């Protein structure tokens, strides 16, 4: 019997100011996300959901994907060095809080350069203090 659970992130698109990381882990919970602008790609990742707050980074990511890349997704996009540097900077502006139950402290996310081919609007592969993950927000389509 399949005991996995599937959770679609923000299925009705009612709030556009959220930003999450799905930290990859064998939890049995599969998060699904529409991403890639008007390409409307469907992604899923197993792990646990971590809310993060970084309004400036979210705004910058939206400008990059919705304005500069015209909201059409980034599949087969050839990333210019300055674009990747911008993504690195924006992702690094997202604090990921970890702790031991008594104290917590923020750590900046890092773009997972080994998975840059997966980089798209509302789906950014990242490295967290807990391992690989995906940074997600509301897709613009």
pLDDT of 67-120, one tens digit each? 999 888 898 889 999 999 999 999 999 999 998 889 999 999 999 999 999 999
Q: Which domain holds residue 58?
A: 5-137
- Fill in the DSSP letter of residue 72: S
**Given this model, what pLDDT does residue 10 score?**
85
Number of domains the chain contains = 1
The mean per-residue pLDDT over the stretch 44-51 comes to 97
Q: How confident is the model at residue 11 (pLDDT cuts 50, 70, 90)?
A: confident
- Which structure tokens are listed for 22? 């799905």
**What does the alpha-carbon distance between residue 134 and residue 23 come to, in Å, rounded to a whole number?**
7
Q: How confident is the model at residue 59 (pLDDT cuts 50, 70, 90)?
A: very high
């Amino acid at each position: 019997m399949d005991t996995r659970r599937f959770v679609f992130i923000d299925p009705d698109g009612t709030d556009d100011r959220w930003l999450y990381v799905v930290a990859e882990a064998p939890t049995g919970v599969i998060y699904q996300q529409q991403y890639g602008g008007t390409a409307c790609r469907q992604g899923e990742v197993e792990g646990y959901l971590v809310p993060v707050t970084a309004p400036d980074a979210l705004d910058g990511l939206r400008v990059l994907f919705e304005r500069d890349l015209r909201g059409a997704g980034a599949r087969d996009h050839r990333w210019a060095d300055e674009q990747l540097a911008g993504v690195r900077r924006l992702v690094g502006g997202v604090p990921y809080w970890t702790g031991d139950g008594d104290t917590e402290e923020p750590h900046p996310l890092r773009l997972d350069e080994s998975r840059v081919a997966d980089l798209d609007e509302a789906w950014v592969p990242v490295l967290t203090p807990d391992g690989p993950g995906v940074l997600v927000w509301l897709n613009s389509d």
